[in-house]
Structure 1
Amino acid sequence: MIRKLTPYLFVAPLMIFIAAFTYVPILASLNLSVRQWNFLTPDMPFVGLRNYQDLFSSREFWNSLWVTTLFAVFSVPLRLGAALLIASYLARETLPSRLLRGALFLPFVTSTVSIAVVFSWVFSTDYGMMNGMLGLLGLGKVPWLQDPHLALWVLIFVNTWKQIGYDIVIYIAGLQAIPQELYDAAAVDGGRRAHIFRRITLPLVMPTTYFLLVISVIEAFQVFTIVNVMTHGGPAGATDMLVNLLYEVGFVLFDIGRGSALAVILFVLLVSLAILKSRIVGRKVHYEA
């Protein structure tokens, strides 16, 4: 009996940690999502599905869902595509490649708040570096963070700049796992670089792409800091993403019930997307691999 229990005892601390900081909060959010609470009173009356009904009938919720979807749809392919192209040039073990890897990875480990503050200055309408360079070219000022048509693209650029270093490092690991003999054989057969990239590199790096696709979509749907620091969800709700709306509802308006309901909806949405990607993309990846 002791021998059978020993493996479980070794993993017990980790399981307790995961349960305390993952599963218990999920269950607590489920409980709070069907109650009305404002942090200030001990009473938490049961209201059933009213919080969910309020959200689904709210224009702010559907706007946030649309904005978050747009952010994910445009930012994730941009990140992964650029990361794969850059990783293809940095996969060789040379000193310049190693230095560039470190430089590109540095933003990923830098504080998101610091990056958001710096880029708020960069894209400032009155004294920002971007408008300063446009002024040198004789062009007028652009309200980067005040224009509803531009603000989301600015956030996509900032988020890509911060996260792409991680994607590059993972892609480099995937590219270096591809046997060099395949490239040598293709070169002997007279294969062109673009043809080799399409026929050898892309199929064999698909498992890495699938992994990055899953975590990138999850990260895109959970973006909060750059939104809260740079635009506060504005202008006119053009960058009001789901997590930012959750923060405003739960911790600004102190409507914990609706905030928890929004958290549950976001959780269900991310799980559904993960399952959908595993069914559609995952099968193709494992088949090709």
Structure 2
Amino acid sequence: MTATQALVVGDTPVASTRAGNSRRRRLRGYGLFALFAFPNLFLILVFAYWPIIQNFYLSFTSWDFISPEPFFIGLSNYTNLFASASFRHVLWVTVVWVVVVVGISLIAGVALASLFSMKLPGTTAVTGIIFAPHVISGAAIAAVWLFIFDPNYGLARMAFDAVGASSPSWVADTNWALPALLIVSIWKGVGFVSIVYLAAMQGLPSDVLEAARLDGAGRWQTFSKVILPLLSPTTFFLVITQTIAAFQAFDIIAVMTGGGPAGSTTTLSWFIYEQAFQRSNVGYSAAGGTVMFVILMIITSLQFAFIEKKVHY
């Protein structure tokens, strides 16, 4: 047998061996993927998706935590929910809360980040001070601001005294309670927004900024025509995360007003808690939770569908 014949005869076993080795490598890769991914996927299914499914089921029932089993009532919770004037007011308060908190936080955050990027004396200390509220418990911050807003002894009274006016009863007045909570929520979250924007600004390509200066662009033109468009991926990220966080706001409301006075600070998240754990109306609360989930899904989808098209990477 010649060498050529031996090579031809041996082609099939060699090819089979290589195919078998390749198949084993793929199986080993799938096994490693399953080993690392499946525990995480299992935890996500148990602690994220299963509660959503269970909440959706409870929204079609009537239950008070005491009865052995929830009683199925169909769409009654949803019909009562959307027929309720108080729930429509809750939705309106939630819209105002989300729009104001997200909008002002983004505007103030990018403005602060622009100041921090100038590297003025004391910038590092000021940056740390502004970011600190983000990592402090919301309940602790609310307790401090309750003292600040106290009409008799609070620090806010001094600002009104300076202009000859009397301090309002911030958290006890239906006209001032929501603005008070908005101030606290924005103050707590703007530090995070500014730090994220600052990190993004520090990563901008210096050659693009230098080219804008050489073309004669002033500071405002450079900021509005160059920096802001380059920050669009960061803005897109912050709009989504801050919108979700605003919808889920709870601790500040719980400590400062408890949804009052007269429901003036009852957002959707507080409504869900109130119905379930204060009024033991679990099905009604679950219906509100489902509405909140659908609203967040719609907002996120719209953001990905329209806002992302204007994001410049």
With normalisation by structure 1, the TM-score equals 0.94
Which residue of 95, 98, 105 maps to 1:69? 95
Q: Could you tell me which amino acid in structure 2 is paired with residue 246 of structure 1?
A: I
Supply the distance in 2 between the matched residues of 1:156 and 1:225 (Cα, whole angstroms).
13
Which residue of 183, 201, 205 maps to 1:157? 183
| CA deviation string 1:78-109 (max 9, x = no partner) | 10001001101213567733322221111000
| CA deviation string 1:188-213 (max 9, x = no partner) | 22211001101110100011001000
1:206 paired to 2:228: no
Q: How does 1:245-256 map to 2 (within 5 A)?
A: 245-256=271-282
Offset of residue 47 of structure 1: 0.8
Supply the distance in 2 between the matched residues of 1:117 and 1:149 (Cα, whole angstroms).
20
Alpha carbons of 1:95 and 1:140: their partners in 2 closer, same or farther (altered >3 Å)?
closer
Which residue of 25, 30, 49 maps to 1:23? 49
Q: Could you tell me which amino acid in structure 2 is paired with residue 25 of structure 1?
A: P
Which of the two has higher C-alpha Rg? 2
The aligned residue for residue 109 of structure 1 is 135
Q: Could you tell me which amino acid in structure 2 is paired with residue 41 of structure 1?
A: S
Larger displacement relative to structure 2 (83-92 or 1-10): 1-10
The aligned residue for residue 53 of structure 1 is 79
Supply the distance in 1 between the matched residues of 2:167 and 2:118 (Cα, whole angstroms).
42
Offset of residue 60 of structure 1: 1.8
The aligned residue for residue 191 of structure 1 is 217
Supply the distance in 1 between the matched residues of 2:87 and 2:49 (Cα, whole angstroms).
25
- Given that residues 97 and 246 in structure 2 are in contact (C-alpha distance below 8 angstroms), is that contact kept between their aligned partners in structure 1? yes
Offset of residue 153 of structure 1: 1.4
| CA deviation string 1:241-267 (max 9, x = no partner) | 111111110000111111111111101
Larger displacement relative to structure 2 (163-172 or 137-146): 137-146
Supply the distance in 1 between the matched residues of 2:248 and 2:236 (Cα, whole angstroms).
19
The aligned residue for residue 242 of structure 2 is 216
Q: How does 1:37-186 map to 2 (within 5 A)?
A: 37-91=63-117, 96-186=122-212
Q: Could you tell me which amino acid in structure 2 is paired with residue 276 of structure 1?
A: L
- Given that residues 168 and 176 in structure 2 are in contact (C-alpha distance below 8 angstroms), is that contact kept between their aligned partners in structure 1? no
Supply the distance in 1 between the matched residues of 2:162 and 2:196 (Cα, whole angstroms).
39
| CA deviation string 1:43-100 (max 9, x = no partner) | 2111111111111111221111000101111221110001001101213567733322
Supply the distance in 1 between the matched residues of 2:137 and 2:215 (Cα, whole angstroms).
48
**Partner-residue secondary structure (3-state), 1:238:** coil
Supply the distance in 1 between the matched residues of 2:283 and 2:237 (Cα, whole angstroms).
34
Alpha carbons of 1:180 and 1:132: their partners in 2 closer, same or farther (altered >3 Å)?
same
With normalisation by structure 2, the TM-score equals 0.87
RMSD: 1.6
Larger displacement relative to structure 2 (85-94 or 100-109): 85-94
- Identical positions, percent: 34
The aligned residue for residue 7 of structure 2 is none
- Given that residues 62 and 73 in structure 2 are in contact (C-alpha distance below 8 angstroms), is that contact kept between their aligned partners in structure 1? yes
Offset of residue 137 of structure 1: 4.3
Equivalenced residues, count: 287
After the TM superposition, list the runs of 4 or more consecutive aligned residues in structure 1 that deviate by more than 4 angstroms.
92-95
The aligned residue for residue 8 of structure 2 is none
Q: Could you tell me which amino acid in structure 2 is paired with residue 176 of structure 1?
A: Q
Offset of residue 150 of structure 1: 2.1
Supply the distance in 2 between the matched residues of 1:197 and 1:136 (Cα, whole angstroms).
36
Gaps of 5+ in 1: none
Gaps of 5+ in 2: 1-26
